[in-house]
Amino acid sequence: MTEADPLPQSMLLAPADTGKSVIGSATSRIEAHLKVTGAARYGSDEYGGSNPAHAYLRTSSIARGRVVHIDETEARKVPGVLAILTHANVGDRIKPGKTFSDKGYMGSSIAPLASDRIAHAGQIVALVVADSYEAARDAAQRLDIAYAEEVPSATFGSPGLMEGLANPKPQGQGNDAADENPKVGDAAGAFASAAVKVDQRYATPTQHHNPIELFTTACAWSGNKLTVWEPSQNMYGFNYGLADQLGIPADDIHTLSPLVGGAFGSRGSLTQRTAIVALAAKMVGRPVRLECTRADGFTIATYRAETQHRVRLGARHDGKLTALIHEGWEISSRPDDYKVAGTDASTRLYACPNVDSHVTIVHADRNTPGFMRAPPETPYLFALESAMDELAHALKMDPVELRRVNDTQTEPIRGLPYTSRALMPCFDVGAAAFGWSKRDPAPGSMRDGDWLIGWGCASTMYPTQVAPAAARVTLSPSGRVTVQTATHEIGQGVMTVIALTAADRLGVPVAHVTVEIGDSKLPPAPVSGGSNSTASVCNVVAKACGDIRARLAIAAVRAKTGPLAGVDPATVMLVDGQLASADGKSEPLANALRRLGGGAVEAYAENVPHGVPPDGVQGLYKGKGALAGGAKLKDRIQFAFGAHFIEVRVHRLTREVRAPRVVGAFTAGRIMNPKTAKSQLMGGQIWGISAALHEATEIDRRTARYYNVDLAEYLVPVNADIGTIETIILPETDTQVNDLGIKGIGELGNVGLNAATANAVFHATGVRVRELPVRIEKILV
């Protein structure tokens, strides 16, 4: 082997079996100090330069129709107004942009300032730019807008809806290769002849992400080059999508998305606001910064679609499922076919020989919905896991035992083995921690004074997704490491797991690793969605570190002299600032680096997961949509699993519902950092309780306008809503999902807890709530 020979893959990927692994050690997030001292910079902290202008949106008060006239007279009188952008002066200066299903990057194809058409309430109708935020706001409110209004279709049950079959091109999250409408066997026949049956309808409401950091955009031009600061969880998609819309090369755009103050899917797709702000900055010849209001966030970005379900379960008297039929209906906009089609997951949770499923898009006069934490699984497992509880009740069987009877190591549709599945160990450990064996199954049987006690459970599952990624790692003679990759710190702790990976593989302290992310000029990383960042990014960082280690090792063992001369390079590791062999020989890192030229050594690595055509990671992200390469294994199926247990207390008279304690037990392959993993799962659990009991966006059926568009009326949980939370992570080794064995945990914590909570309410009261959220009026008896 010579210097020019490619390094063997086995050396790049070999685990650093040094006995000192820092991967998996509970580590505080490396940016924690910045965050708690207020020094952390978020995208919204950036104004684009020293002399920014400020933008304010005016949005449509009607949901369907057109703008007839905009009188700007009064607005123009406001001192400091610089520009007013409407359909009259924007038109085709911004291209509409393509949605994910068209290999684009937009969340919605509705192009607000392209014409006079209004497709949904709250659509952007004008952007006013002024010297100050206050002037822009004042002028925007003084625009006198005349509309020609048509009667809108708001939601399910509204007149004038358009019901379409699900488009053959899936547009949901991470399901490039999704099976459409999974089916096997004769579900209708098996259901007809089943000994025990459940046939029920369920519904979940519209929800909005409401990240604390508002939707902001700052744009600054320097000649033909554009710099954009915007909180994003998909800056590569953002760069390509914005380039399409503005008709400029993607290389001329530099996107910066430093620490992100919450995303949850809302920043995975490009919104129409960005190109409008970029155009405004060009028009006024100054940087322009837009800060959308909290209310704007409900209509200018995406949201979780309202869904309806019919679930039919057939079973034998011993609980074995014989038939599972899951039909779903999802609200979308008029032009777009966004759907999450969670039957892909809900038909793969339990063994069942006869399965059928169908998903229908219902087009209404709404903005296009989009990704929101576990987009498919959250609504579809609410329906399935509620129906399973109803089946357990009908069978007079313990709900945990019903799941045990139907547990499987191969998925039922194509008979593929799971790479690993530990659902029942999660139920067993969770049940023990919760004290489930003390449950009296009869509804309404457990009480504490005036409080009716209910205990409920449900499963969670989330697919493991890995996407193409690249990283550059630099190791300096002083033992300092820099890792660069264009991923996003959305609060999940990705910077810390990257630092742990590099520290582990290069034998340096975590504090010596600098992690650079959030910049589109860095090596590409995928959308931080689908719980894929840790798996996608850490594997490629490990690969780049392995390259450095292999180069140092080979140079050291080939040296004529030196402590490692002649040693087998595969046994040489970097540990504690030393290059060391398994048999105890070592030399300081700085000496080893001298052999490669003396300065820092740099490695660039790409990772292209199974089944993705290897045309380079950059190429993969260009023109392939944000979801490029959510590749699935052909012969196996990969999911993380878990079990939820919750206690609710319902007041006998007022029917107020409290949730004093919850236990979740999860398995998700290798856990890179138990500390941040636990807090991420805990956040999901809190969201699950909240989604069951509080959270919904309300729509006025006559006007198709949302009316609880602020954090006073859109209920998110506060500390008083949440009792004790136990989060248990069971060890699991999965050698098939990816080299490091990471499954991902971002979305696992909340899936299914909505159903567990409604199941607990049934156990407390005997009232089954099939339409979320559970509210007092639904359980009055």
User: Catalytic residue numbers?
Assistant: 747
Tokens 């990257």, located at residue: 498
Question: Among 86, 108, 173, 738, which residue sits at the site for ligand MOS (rule: CB under 6 A)?
Answer: 173
Least distance from ligand MOS to the Cβ atom of residue 680, Å: 12
Find out whether 173 and 88 touch, Cβ atoms under 8 Å.
Answer: no
Token digits of residue 456: 């409920």
Backbone φ, ψ for residue 762 (5° rounding)? -65, -45
Strand partners, 646: 456, 662
* Closest-CA residue to 669 (of 503, 467, 421, 348): 421
Q: Site residues for ligand MOS, window 524-583 (CB under 6 A)?
A: 529-530
Cα–Cα distance measured from residue 130 to residue 142, given in angstroms and rounded to the nearest whole number = 13
For ligand MOS, give the closer residue by CB, 206 or 354: 206
Residue found under tokens 């089944």: 611
Smallest gap from residue 348 Cβ to ligand MOS (A)? 19
Task: List binders of ligand MOS among 278-317 (CB under 6 A).
Answer: none
Paired tokens of 690: 């909240």
CB of 280 to ligand MOS, least distance (A): 28
Q: Is the dihedral of CA 272, 278, 279, 281 positive or negative?
A: positive
Using CB under 6 A, count the residues that bind ligand MOS: 12
Q: What are phi and psi of 40, to 5 degrees?
A: -65, 140
Give the per-residue contact string, 375-394, with ligand MOS (x = CB under 6 A; - = no).
x-------------------
Would you say 136 or 467 has its CB closer to ligand MOS?
467
Closest approach, Cβ 530 to ligand MOS, in A, equals: 5
Task: Return the ∠ at Cα 205 (arms to 436 and 122), rounded to 5°.
Answer: 150
Shortest CB 175 distance to ligand MOS, Å:
12
Binding test (CB under 6 A) with ligand MOS, winner from 265, 379, 546, 630:
265
Residue 751 contacts residue 683 (beta carbons within 8 Å): no
Nearer to ligand MOS, 680 or 703 (CB): 680
State in angstroms the smallest separation of the CB of 359 from ligand MOS: 18
Closest CB to ligand MOS: residue number: 265
Q: How far is the CB of 655 from ligand MOS (least distance, A)?
A: 33
Of 187-195, 259-267, 336-344, 599-607: span binding ligand MOS (CB under 6 A): 259-267
Q: 3-state SS of 477-504?
A: CCCCEEEECCCCCCCCCHHHHHHHHHHH
Which H/E stretch holds residue 538?
A: helix 533-558
Return the number of other C-beta atoms located less than 10 Å from residue 264's C-beta.
25
Find the shortest distance in angstroms from Cβ 736 to ligand MOS: 22
Q: Is it true that the peptide bond before 773 is cis, omega within 30 degrees of 0?
A: yes
Q: Which stretch binds ligand MOS (CB under 6 A): 148-156, 370-378, 473-481, 683-691?
A: 370-378
Burial of 720 (0-12, 13-18, 19+ CB in 10 A): exposed
Beta carbon of residue 676, minimum distance to ligand MOS (angstroms, whole number): 16
Nearer to ligand MOS, 83 or 525 (CB): 525
Span near ligand MOS by CB under 6 A; candidates 95-103, 263-271, 385-393, 681-689: 263-271
Between the CA of residue 208 and those of 56, 105, 158, 748, what are the distances in Å? 21, 20, 21, 19
Nearer to ligand MOS, 60 or 750 (CB): 750
Cα(51)–Cα(292) distance, integer angstroms: 20
Nearest CA to 27 among 672, 578, 614, 654? 672
Three-state DSSP at 307 gives strand
Binding mask 510-529 for ligand MOS (x = CB under 6 A): -------------------x
Which window, 344-352, 366-374, 436-444, 752-760, contacts ligand MOS (CB under 6 A)?
Answer: 366-374
Looking at residue 114, the DSSP 8-state letter turns out to be T
Which amino acid, 96?
Answer: P
Q: Report yes or no: 455 and 644 within 8 Å, Cβ to Cβ.
A: no
Residue closer to ligand MOS (CB basis): 261 or 375: 375
List the one residue from 47, 100, 202, 371 that touches ligand MOS (CB under 6 A).
371
Tokens of 389: 């509880």
The answer to whether the Cα torsion of 145, 149, 155, 161 is positive or negative is negative
| Residues 576, 510 contacting (CB under 8 angstroms) | no
Nearer to ligand MOS, 236 or 455 (CB): 236
**1: buried, middle or exposed (CB in 10 Å: 19+, 13-18, 0-12)?**
exposed
Residue bearing tokens 């020293």:
50
Segment near ligand MOS (CB under 6 A); pick from 31-39, 365-373, 681-689, 720-728: 365-373
Does 630 help bind ligand MOS (rule: CB under 6 A)? Answer: no
Rank residues 232 and 474 by Cβ distance to ligand MOS and give the closer one.
232
Q: How far is the CB of 535 from ligand MOS (least distance, A)?
A: 13
Query: How far, in Å, CA of 96 to CA of 106, rounded?
Result: 9
Residues in the chain: 781
Q: Which is nearer to ligand MOS, 65 or 375 (CB)?
A: 375
d(CA 141, CA 164): 38
**Binding of residue 373 to ligand MOS (CB under 6 A):** yes
Q: How far is the CB of 372 from ligand MOS (least distance, A)?
A: 5
User: Residue 341 or 603: which CB sits closer to ligand MOS?
Assistant: 341
Interface of this chain with ligand MOS, residues 219 to 238, rule: CB under 6 A: 233
Choices 43-51, 340-348, 371-379, 750-758 (CB under 6 A): range interacting with ligand MOS: 371-379
Q: Which amino acid is at 207?
A: Q
Q: How far is CA 332 from the centre of its chain?
A: 19
Instruction: Choose the binding region for ligand MOS from 62-70, 257-265, 336-344, 720-728 (rule: CB under 6 A).
Output: 257-265
Instruction: Specify the residue, 263 or 612, whose C-beta has the smaller distance to ligand MOS.
Output: 263
**Count of other CB atoms within 10 angstroms of residue 193:** 11
Bridge pairing between strands 162-165 and 355-363: antiparallel
Q: Which of 268, 297, 379, 688 binds ligand MOS (CB under 6 A)?
A: 268
Binding site for ligand MOS (CB under 6 A): 173, 233, 263-265, 268, 371-373, 375, 529-530
